[in-house]
Amino acid sequence: MCKITDAEILRFITTEDTDEAEELFAAARKVRAEHYRNEVYFRGLVEFTNYCKNDCYYCGLRRSNTNVARYRLSLDEILQSCKVGNSLGFRTFVLQGGEDPYFTDERVVEILRAIRGAYPDHAITVSVGERPRESYEAFFRSGANRYLLRHESADEEHYAMMHPSSMSLRARKECLYTLKTIGYQVGAGFMVGTPFQKPEHLLEDLRFLQDLQPHMVGIGPFIPQADTPFGNYPAGTLEQTLRMVALARLLLPKALIPATTALGTISPVGRERGLMAGANVVMPNLSPREVRKLYALYDNKICTGDEAAECRYCMEGRIRGFGFVPNMGRGDVAGWQPPAVS
Ligand code: SAM
Ligand code: SF4
Ligand code: FES
């Protein structure tokens, strides 16, 4: 168990000393290697709807953004994306979308049952935001194994500066603890460099993660999207995001931590640098190429013009180039015992 003090964490969050940062990254790589050697796990991401009823101030999918053409994938299109992914070797599918009321529990269950029926041994991750416990239970019974729900900020005040008053940190946290008790492998996380974020907020984010003990941690830089209230704020920096990835690795040694697309967007080698800072997951895109540009959380998102196969092999090359070994298996968290489904 890593007993790093608040003062030490704050120093790493703010340091501009590159030697100190390199030491942090090396320590994170060592901890990761103890549980995952130098393997990097692949997840196939299917962005199945860009409709959202929420209005987060940072996100291009927010309901008030009238400049984005909205789309929903049909069940057939989702299954086709999974089919392509399966043939490319993916054994985890991640179904992500805005909070879209069209996708009622019944519709999500129908999708999950269809994917589970076709791929009994694959992992299915869902990421469709906040829902009541009964919905999460229904998804779990229908074949979902994992759930991604970033907490976004563990500080009440900061959370309230990024979201309208209809959303609350308390509700977000409650969902995360509920998902854990149901038996999901759960992913929390946050953006680095969001407007009004202070080093103390990032410290709180890390301490919250230690309390929640999620199986996955998504950390990426905030990147402005021009049509949002935060469109004129600067993006988070590569260096600070990398330090947060490394700190998360030290505090949660077994966590599955993606080198995010957002990291790859702010730097051509951002994802590789993420792996060098302790990350161990990549999430190439399986969404049909026609819709990729429309899943515009932030500006200049990479991989929007590429086919699924291009991203899959591009990622493999990048990983090998940095001395890592791609692992196309399910990639459950180290020591994972699947709970019995009733
Ligand atoms: N709607 C679901 C939710 O909010 O949990 C899932 C999809 S949402 C688009 C996935 C993640 O995208 C969010 O948790 C947020 O951290 C990230 N995101 C949104 N806008 C972003 C931005 N401008 N820059 C970087 N990441 C962003
Ligand atoms: Fe909707 Fe998620 Fe974007 Fe918030 S972050 S507006 S919930 S898609
Ligand atoms: Fe998408 Fe390189 S990962 S083109």
User: Bridge-partner residues for 146, per DSSP?
Assistant: 125, 185
Q: Against a cut of 0.95, is the pTM above it?
A: yes
Q: What share of the chain is helix, strand, coil (3-state, %, to 5)?
A: 40, 15, 45
Res 19: pLDDT: 98
Burial of 323 (0-12, 13-18, 19+ CB in 10 A): exposed
- Please give the domain boundaries of the chain with CATH numbers for all domains: 6-327 (3.20.20.70)
Per-residue confidence band for 338, with pLDDT thresholds at 50, 70 and 90:
confident
Pairwise CA distance, residues 246 & 216, whole Å: 14
Residues touching ligand 3 (Cβ under 6 Å) are 284, 303, 306, 310-311, 314-315
Range 44-67 average pLDDT: 98
Q: Residue 79 corresponds to which tokens in the numbers above?
A: 């299954």
179 lines ligand 1 (CB under 6 A): no
Pairwise CA distance, residues 214 & 342, whole Å: 23
Secondary structure class of 164 (helix, strand, coil): coil
Pairwise CA distance, residues 262 & 279, whole Å: 14
Q: 282 CA to middle of ligand 3, Å?
A: 11
150 lines ligand 1 (CB under 6 A): yes
164-177: per-residue pLDDT in tens? 999 999 999 999 99
Res 3: pLDDT: 86
Pairwise CA distance, residues 242 & 259, whole Å: 9
Alpha-carbon distances of 225 from 56, 89, 228, rounded to whole Å: 12, 33, 6
Pairwise CA distance, residues 24 & 172, whole Å: 30
256 lines ligand 2 (CB under 6 A): no
127 lines ligand 2 (CB under 6 A): no
Secondary structure class of 21 (helix, strand, coil): helix
Pairwise CA distance, residues 74 & 8, whole Å: 49
Pairwise CA distance, residues 276 & 254, whole Å: 16
Tell which residue, 22, 9, 8, 58, has the closest CA to residue 239: 22
Pairwise CA distance, residues 185 & 145, whole Å: 6
Pairwise CA distance, residues 231 & 60, whole Å: 9
Q: 286 with 245: CB under 8 angstroms?
A: no
Res 32: pLDDT: 98
Q: Which atom of ligand 3 is nearest to the CA of 306?
A: 4
Say whether pLDDT at 342 is over 60: no
58 lines ligand 1 (CB under 6 A): yes
Which residue of 286, 301, 303, 316 sits with most ligand 3 atoms within 8 Å of its CB, as the best mutation to test the pocket? 303
258 lines ligand 2 (CB under 6 A): no
- Work out the mean pLDDT of the chain and round it to a whole number: 97
Burial of 8 (0-12, 13-18, 19+ CB in 10 A): exposed
Pairwise CA distance, residues 170 & 214, whole Å: 17
Burial of 121 (0-12, 13-18, 19+ CB in 10 A): exposed
Closest C-alpha to ligand 3, atom 1 = 311
Q: 86 with 119: CB under 8 angstroms?
A: yes
Q: 288 CA to middle of ligand 3, Å?
A: 14
Q: Which of 30-44, 107-121, 292-306, 325-339 has the lowest mean pLDDT?
A: 325-339
Pairwise CA distance, residues 342 & 324, whole Å: 38
Residue with tokens 């692992």: 327
Res 337: pLDDT: 83
Q: 12 with 229: CB under 8 angstroms?
A: no
Q: 107 CA to middle of ligand 1, Å?
A: 22
Give the length of the chain. 342
Res 340: pLDDT: 65
Res 31: pLDDT: 98
Say whether pLDDT at 148 is over 80: yes
150 lines ligand 2 (CB under 6 A): no
What string of H, E and C letters represents the secondary structure of 180-233?
HHHCCEEEEEEEECCCCCCHHHHHHHHHHHHHHCCCEEEEEECCCCCCCCCCCC
Per-residue confidence band for 341, with pLDDT thresholds at 50, 70 and 90:
low
Q: 297 CA to middle of ligand 2, Å?
A: 8
Say whether pLDDT at 186 is over 90: yes
Angle at 78 between CA 76 and CA 79, to 5 degrees: 65
State the virtual CA torsion across 63, 69, 75, 79 in degrees, nearest 10: -110
Res 46: pLDDT: 98
Say whether pLDDT at 2 is over 90: no
Q: 59 CA to middle of ligand 1, Å?
A: 6
Per-residue confidence band for 1, with pLDDT thresholds at 50, 70 and 90:
low
Range 302-326 average pLDDT: 96
Please report which ligand is nearest the Cα atom of 189: 1
Range 237-266 average pLDDT: 98
